[in-house]
Amino acid sequence: MAMDFKTQIDKNKVPEHIAIIMDGNGRWAKKQGRLRTFGHKIGVKAVRETVEGASEIGVKFLTMYTFSTENWKRPAGEIKALMELLVKSIHKETPTLNQNNIRLQAIGNLEQLPEKARLQLQKSIDETSQNTGMHLILALSYSARWEILHATRQLADKVAQGLIKPDEISEAVFQAELC
């Protein structure tokens, strides 16, 4: 008989926010003698199980580092396959997110995503926007360097527009510009 570990979790000690860097699916597939894209497809199942499990135990925010800015350096065919998998997976999983009251969000340089991926992502974000359960945050075309540059540019624009003075930029003001 399988043991249900979820019943052993102290709900008072569940972290409010968990972040996961998804890494190694392609290398795993290659070790199995398969194409890297096979590993990415298998990884979708692990993501689904992780999201459902996190939601069930009461995690409020789950950030999944899905596609970093560095991933754009991969071969074009692999990037195309990853973006197609992203579109297909988001489309397929949106009803499940709604059934489980999970709100989808995304951070990163989303403008860099192919139009089809960007549109499906926005559609799913819109369709789950009223959900009040766990927030599932996909980090796409994201890196800490990108986020710092993005926040800095936002603040520079505000200074240029006269909305804020340089000496008014505090840690809290800077933090408000972060994803």
> Which residues form the catalytic set?
23, 71
CB atoms within 10 A of CB 81: 18
CA dihedral 66, 69, 75, 78 (to 10 degrees): 20
Which residues, including other chains, have CB under 8 Å from residue 124's CB and lie 6 or more apart? Answer: 90, 91, 93, 94, 97, 104
Instruction: Single out the residue of 159, 37, 51, 152 nearest to residue 99, CA to CA.
Output: 51
Q: Return d(Cα 35, Cα 40) in angstroms, integer.
A: 9
Query: How many Å is the Cα radius of gyration of the chain?
Result: 19
Q: Return d(Cα 21, Cα 27) in angstroms, integer.
A: 15
